[in-house]
A and B are shown apart, each in its own frame.
Chain A
Amino acid sequence: MGASWGTGLARWRQGALGLLGVLGVGALGRAQEALQEAFSGAPAALELRRRLTLLPGEELPRLFRLAVEGRLVLAPNGEVLPLDEVGLDAVRAALAVRPRRELVTFLDGLSRAPLELRERLEAHRLFSVAGGGEHLRLLLRLSLVPGDGLPPQELRASFVGALAAVLKRDELALEQIPSLFAESPPGLVGSVIEAVAEVTGPHATQVLARLLGRVPGLDGLLLGRLAQRADSADLCDEFVLDGLRRYLRHADPVLVVAACRALAVLGDDGAVEELIVLLERGDERVRAASGAALTTLSGLSFGLDVERWSSWFQDEQRWWNERAETELARVEGARGAEYVRAARAVLEHRLHRDRIAEAFVQALGRRAADEVWLACRALGELRSRVSLAALVECLEHEDPAVREAAWRALQAITGEALPAESASWARFAS
């Protein structure tokens, strides 16, 4: 990569960096002295960090170079002082606490000059603490390398890290992703997807779904990442699910398989009918994937038997249309033995488990501890994520049997083996 840029560019770069931070030769000398002064007397890590933080703004380019090169050239004899890990950490920490506007301006100037790989990596590091949603194009400029091929792996990894850091900090930045995706060179679009995939929550899931179909070559990667977003299962909107269901009718079996997995993970009951149709497709992988998705969605093991799946689906639909409303009302309103009977009846059905789970969530607020306990058990069987917040609340219930049942239900739904204290499950409560 570096070879194609020419050796003369190094001098050009030095000059550009110098221009960014230095107003004149005299100032350069003073700045160099100030930086050197910070390292004098072998200060402890905290003291070094304090001194570097107190350096004036014009020291920023030199601090950056220091972080890039990991060594300080001492004036006037040119002696080289290599930085150890502690020193380097202090430099990076001092850079990170500079005013954000100052850092962004500096990075903007930097992005207009030819850069070496290690400079880009350090710039990414700085961007991850200073950048915001409005600066994503700046990140892109800091990552552009000549040619259409893949940028170096370290660069892609640091790009993903920097972009993900910004997206986690500023959720509104997710709105910028589609345009960033469109402007990114082919070698970086995959990294944009990876960065969004690192952000949890339904908004990021929706953004990933919006990217589907934009670049056909990337749909496989997007579907794969959507299949790993179980955390968004209960919050996925129809837009996301519709986008995924389209791929069940795709000609490429690889994409159909990936869509089956994603829909199963996201718990899309609405895809069941199409998944049953896929059981009759010629491609063995598609049949296996649709069978596995149906098993995940229903909790039943009918293998690849189309007739059994169809019959089950019709029964479920009939129940939903004719009796579900009455029976769910009984779960929500009945008491004692009638409640138990109603619970048993609705638990035979899994197709609309989110709605069924909502009925049991209502029952969690009752006074009778045994009825709450039964609701917790039912929710554990249903494994619907809509009940997570209510179950976390039940970890504080006065009855130990209810607390135990709520804890087991949470484990069953999330697959996490956390302690039975509500604080441990706080992230599922929101």
Chain B
Amino acid sequence: MQLAQRSRSGAGQRGSALVLSLVAVGTVVVLAASFTQFASAVGNRQTHSVHKKRAFYLAEAGLAESFAAFSCGRSGVVGSEEAPARLGDGLFWVEATELIPGIVRLESTGMVGTGRAVLALVAQRGAVDVASLGVFSNGPLALGAGSRVDAYDSSLGSYELQLDKSGASLASNESITVSGTILMPSTIDGDVTPGPEATVTTSGNVTVTGSQARSFESLVLPEVELPELPLESAKDHASPYPLVLPPGKVSYAGLTVRAGAQAIVQGPAVVVLGSLLLESTAELVFDTSGGSIELYVTDSLVASARSLLTTAGADPSKVKIQVPGETAAPVQLRAQGAFHGIVYAPHTEVVLGASLNFHGALVADELTLNGAAKLHFDKHLLELAGEEQLPIVLSWRLEELGTLQGGLAADPFDALGLDPASLPRPAAALQDQTLDIHYYDAADVYHRYTGVESSFDWTVVKTVIEATRDGVDVLFPTAGTLTRVIRKAPGVLPIIDGPMI
């Protein structure tokens, strides 16, 4: 009885083991299937993620290609959706839109595998910095006996401590006259460049160490953008204590500094004045220890004889005096002192007294030098002007980061209906533009080419005199800087080139 009972219970146990085994196997199978599916899903997600990241990098590469081209005067367009550039196993194209004059939006789309990314960048074109012109007059320019025009590099120390004073630039859109005597010789340690139709005339004891060849073309001086600031009433300062204009932006209808008084402008500052009058023995100090100073004078600027115009620092790039329009009377800088700065008056005459030791750059519609001028051009301004001409990035944003329809099998070339083999490399996908270039070839022969850039062979160029793409100046690196310096005329007619490629 007991045996029979035991036997029955043993049979029951054997069956339950089988069931348990089946359940266990089933569970393992389900788990395995789940894990396989999970792993597959994770793998897919990772693949999509990798493709998205690669698409992002492709779009970045597109922006870099476009921005580099934009910096060289190109439009910034690279390929198009119909004919993008191919890079590796992906593609990209960049569209350029001029938002307002000088501000361009570059939008780059990159696609690879299942990934698609769109990045956008807004860039501002570089500005022409007139400081690189040295001493320049739109009208005729005459230097009196005893004048000295030379150059130094403010980044290497003070003018007095430098031995190399070469590299000055004295130029005009018209004629230049330099005179000297045995007792008062005149020296220009650098180039003298008259206008394209004008000449340099020297009389007496005059030394010009550089070229006197004419300029390639007349220069058009850019306009001054006057900051809009709330105008305050005029200030008349006669106190024995200094008048301090603290850092910031300020605009006065006028500033008169009476005899024996002193005014100090502390940088960083933007100061707009209707008129500025420094009476004899008055002093105006530009204190640039805290930052740069921009002074705009709209109606009248007179620094009387025996007044004092001084800069606390010796870096000319930190003080800029600009006269935007034409003034009723010439701008008069008859002050004494060592001035380090840039003076720019594109529509008015500037009279420079002999007592002012001028370091920096001086550009005017008409320049009159009273007596023996002492003008020391700062070559460091050339480098700064080069940087100024480069475009700057105002903003960057990610517009889109997504996945193409069609799962892992999706392919951007199929999606766009393109044959990868027919697509150009990035450099070849840059938008073709009209190139107008004046250059010297390897044998120093002057050539000119006008036509689409794709037909021009850049390897024949040794030195560029001037080039434009669709009418926009092209900047070329020279001696490590990008500068727009005064270009000399070749003196002969060019050989006109036809399409080369």
Contacts and interface: CB of A to CB of B under 8 A. Distances in A.
Interface residues of B, number: 27
Interface string A149-166: 110010000000000000
A187 B240 contact: yes
B289 interface: yes
Interface stretch (A88-96, A221-229, A359-367): A221-229
Contact of B243 (A215, A220, A227): A220
B281 interface: yes
A217 B246 contact: no
Contact of A227 (B240, B262, B290): B290
A150 B246 contact: no
Interface string B186-202: 00000000000000000
Nearest to B337: A153
Interface string B74-112: 000000000000000000000000000000000000000
A149 B259 contact: yes
Nearest to A224: B266
Contacts of B262: 150, 190
Interface string A205-242: 00000000001011011011001100000000000000
A223 B246 contact: yes
B248 A150 contact: no
Nearest to B281: A149
B337 to A, nearest CB: 7
A285 B248 contact: yes
A284 interface: yes
Interface string B212-232: 000000000000000000100
B241 A215 contact: yes
Contact of B290 (A148, A150, A228, A257): A228
| Residue among B240, B247, B261 with max Cβ neighbours from chain A (10 Å) | B240
Given A149-B260, A150-B262, A228-B289, A220 B246 contact: yes
Contacts, number: 78
Contacts of B230: 284
A285 B310 contact: no
Interface string B270-294: 0000000000010100010110000
A288 B247 CA distance: 12
Contacts of B310: 153
A3 to B, nearest CB: 13
A297 B310 CA distance: 33
Interface in B293-320: 308, 310
Contacts of B155: none
Contacts of B264: 221, 224
Most chain A CB inside 10 Å of its own CB: which residue of B239, B244, B289: B244
A180 interface: no
Interface in A263-298: 284-285, 288-289
B330 interface: no
A190 B264 CA distance: 11
Contacts of A261: 246-247
B336 to A, nearest CB: 8
A149 B308 CA distance: 13
A189 interface: yes
A148 B259 CA distance: 11
Interface in B150-197: none
B240 A149 contact: yes
A29 to B, nearest CB: 40
B250 A150 contact: no
Nearest to B242: A190
B50 to A, nearest CB: 31
A250 to B, nearest CB: 12
A177 interface: no
A10 interface: no
B347 interface: no
A202 interface: no
A153 B230 CA distance: 34
A258 interface: yes
A300 interface: no
Contact of A289 (B243, B248, B290): B248
B295 to A, nearest CB: 17
B487 interface: no
B249 interface: yes
Given A150-B262, A224-B266, A227-B290, A217 B308 contact: no
B253 interface: no
B283 A150 contact: yes
Nearest to B289: A228
A224 B240 CA distance: 18
Nearest to B287: A224
Contacts of B290: 224, 227-228
B464 to A, nearest CB: 37
Contact of B244 (A215, A220, A228, A288): A220
A147 B247 CA distance: 31
Given A149-B240, A153-B283, A187-B240, 13 more contacts: A150-B240, A186-B241, A218-B241, A220-B242, A220-B244, A224-B266, A224-B287, A228-B290, A254-B245, A257-B248, A258-B246, A261-B247, A285-B250
Interface pairs A-B: 5 shortest CB-CB: A149-B260, A186-B240, A217-B241, A220-B244, A258-B246
14 contacts: A149-B259, A150-B240, A150-B261, A150-B262, A150-B281, A153-B310, A217-B241, A217-B243, A218-B241, A220-B245, A221-B264, A261-B246, A261-B247, A285-B250
